[in-house]
Amino acid sequence: MSSRPVWEKRQFGHRARLALTPAQEQAIDAQAHAARAAWNLLHNLWSMTPKCTRSLTRMDQTLRQARKDIDWLGVLPAQATQAVLKTYMRAWRNCWEGRAEEPAFKSRVRSVMSVDIPQGRDLHIKRVHRRWGMVNIPRVGRIRFRWTRDLPVGKAANSDNRITGARLVKDSLGWHIAFRVTALERKPAEHTGPEVGIDAGVNISLALSDGNHQDHGRPPRLPDGSADRDKWLNKEEKAKLLRLEQRAAHRKSFRKPKERTSNRLHRSYDQIRQLRARATRRATDWQHRTTTSLARQYGVIVVEDLHITNMTRSAKGSVENPGKNVAQKSGLNRSIAQEAWGRTVTMLTYKTARHGGTLIKVPAPYTSQRCSACGFITSGSRETQELFVCKNPDCGWTGNADHNGARNVLHLYRIGHTMEIPAAGRAVVRRTRGVKPATAR
């Protein structure tokens, strides 16, 4: 007797590159600047209004009147303006509930340019070519975008499978559109694959307890021992980046204090940001491919509950108590930031759930100092960043330090010392009663 399939709704995003003409790019830029200005106007209004008279209705009325009175603010569609208001109020709600800090003023330089399209019915998406599709942007017109995956459009769209909206986002490589998709999919069966512990490292990107390490093949260190800031760029791109940085430094030397940045210096900065964005895109692509492969292969994936912000804190210290090995710690912090461990765990979280697997977190203390063969713990076991040597005279196990950490991570899960991460809420440490840490693996 076969059981009936269980269906569940899943929400996800899909990002595609836009192919814009100069006029279309100028129009979207104007909308993005108007959206940023609308946020700042709301922030100023909220700050100057007494607490007893603050209301969503008043802010909505003020924003509507501002669109009528200010021409450059009126280029933003009405629904996109309402989306800015809803986002601002949601930011305050997250602050009140302790999930985020207070909303702040968005500067022209540091803020990301974006425009929200809250209604999916306004997009009118159509596939016109094997590699290209067309989408309608309010007050801009029809725009081509790269078609890299099937979207629920046309006859395939219904109440359960549809595009609910989109967001235009600009980075150093141009404008992109991020579709918000709701799909009805069959709930995956429980994954019966093996268990594996993962230790995120610098020398080995993802060390697995079974020895099936995942590495991107890019050395974290240069021959002189310093951290490689641009390991995702090839030799020609690194040489170009060096020339651009030298050119930018030369042009910056002619700028007087408080003087406006020249257009030439802006162009040099734009080219540098493009190379940096290209490297980030390659790193993200490797993470997507690797995490998808791990989610398909393993049923239970165990990772450490790392506090990356504390790990990458500077060792500079203060004037009274200066730090030690500041340069080495700075290079290590840079290498950790490049590996983007938090993004890897985020990808594994939703990909394991999509494939029927489970992601478990375990406490991180002593996983790198404990011998995975005998359980002996000492701070001097790591001879180098790569080598682990057990100081127990009865053991003497030697191996890769990251592999040793991955075996310890899996062992913590097997003895029940895990941290269950619910869909919403804080992690809870759970320890199986009556089970003590074993001294042998």
Locate the domains of the chain by residue range: 7-186, 195-232+288-430
pLDDT number for residue 366: 81
pLDDT number for residue 383: 67
pLDDT number for residue 218: 79
Confidence class of residue 34 from pLDDT cuts 50, 70 and 90? very high
In the chain, the percentage of residues whose pLDDT exceeds 90 is 45
**pLDDT above 70 for 140:** yes
Confidence class of residue 319 from pLDDT cuts 50, 70 and 90? low
CA 248 to chain CA mean position, Å: 29
Confidence class of residue 318 from pLDDT cuts 50, 70 and 90? low
Confidence class of residue 436 from pLDDT cuts 50, 70 and 90? very low
Give the mean pLDDT of 332-358.
Answer: 87
Q: What is the 3-state secondary structure (H, E, C) of 285-318?
A: HHHHHHHHHHHHHCCEEEEEECCHHHHCCCCCEC
pLDDT (tens digit per residue) in 64-77: 999 999 999 999 99
pLDDT number for residue 425: 40
The pTM for the full model equals 0.83
**pLDDT above 60 for 424:** no
Give the mean pLDDT of 135-150.
Answer: 94
Rounded CA separation 200/336 (Å)? 9
Rounded CA separation 145/19 (Å)? 6
**pLDDT above 60 for 392:** yes
Rounded CA separation 186/189 (Å)? 9
For the chain, the straight-line distance linking the first and the last C-alpha, in angstroms and rounded, comes to 42
Rounded CA separation 28/47 (Å)? 29
pLDDT number for residue 435: 37
Query: What is the DSSP annotation of 132-183?
Result: EEEEEETTTEEEEEE--S----GGG--SSSEEEEEEEEEETTEEEEEEEEEE
pLDDT number for residue 418: 67
Give the mean pLDDT of 386-401.
Answer: 82
Can you state the percent helix, strand and coil of the chain, rounding each to 5?
A: 40, 20, 40
Q: What is the mean pLDDT of the chain?
A: 85
Check the CA dihedral 54-60-61-66 and report its sign.
positive
Neighbours of 290 (CB within 10 A): 18
Which residues are bridge partners to 135 per DSSP? 143
DSSP-based three-state secondary structure for 206: strand
Copy the structure tokens of residue 254.
Answer: 């002619």
Copy the structure tokens of residue 273.
Answer: 């940001």
pLDDT number for residue 419: 60
**pLDDT above 90 for 2:** no
More confident site: 180 or 373? 180
Confidence class of residue 144 from pLDDT cuts 50, 70 and 90? very high
Q: Nearest 10 degrees: CA dihedral of 105, 106, 109, 114?
A: 180
pLDDT number for residue 230: 80
Distances (CA, A) of 357 to 120, 286, 330, 346, 399: 32, 21, 37, 14, 29
Q: Residue 357: which of 292, 303, 300 has the closest Cα?
A: 300
Give the mean pLDDT of 68-91.
Answer: 93
DSSP character for 53?
G
pLDDT (tens digit per residue) in 94-110: 999 998 899 999 998 88
Q: Report the chain's C-alpha Rg in angstroms.
A: 26
Confidence class of residue 160 from pLDDT cuts 50, 70 and 90? confident
**pLDDT above 80 for 412:** yes
Residue 385: burial class (beta carbons within 10 Å; 0-12, 13-18, 19+): middle
Rounded CA separation 102/193 (Å)? 44
**pLDDT above 90 for 316:** no
**pLDDT above 70 for 434:** no
**pLDDT above 70 for 20:** yes
Ordered alpha helix ranges (H), 9-146: 22-48, 56-69, 78-96
Give the mean pLDDT of 401-414.
Answer: 88
Copy the structure tokens of residue 215.
Answer: 């590495």
pLDDT number for residue 44: 93
Give the mean pLDDT of 310-324.
Answer: 70
pLDDT (tens digit per residue) in 176-222: 999 999 998 888 888 888 999 998 888 888 989 888 888 888 777 66
